Amino acid sequence: MTKEKVYEQLYSLIEDRNSFITDNSACEIFREDIEAIETVIKMCENLQVENAKLKEEVRAVNRGLKKVISKRKKWKDRYYRERQKAKELEKRK
């Protein structure tokens, strides 16, 4: 079931619970059902927002790691080039 279908079903449940509500106090259970369903919907929406924030944070960390790895590779390459030059100079002596 997709997220959209789940939301549709939850809203449909709210409408269904509303159809049972009349003016008497015996309908309190249906009002509580509606409140519970609305709370679940809000919780799901909050989770989606948090999930999006976490994904962006992971992307930012990955970009930073790529930069660090790239710089390290450049320094490593430079180190080995200099080391090779030093060996060649050593051989010439």
Q: Are 41 and 7 in contact (CB under 8 A)?
A: yes
Range of the domain at 23: 3-92
User: What is the pTM for the complete model shown?
Assistant: 0.61
Tens-level pLDDT at each residue, the chain (93 residues): 898 999 999 999 999 998 888 876 678 888 899 999 999 999 999 999 999 999 999 999 999 999 999 888 888 888 988 989 888 888 876
Total of domains in the chain: 1
Q: Which helix (H) or strand (E) holds 25?
A: none
CA 57 to chain centre: 8
Nearest to 44 by CA among 69, 11, 13, 7: 7
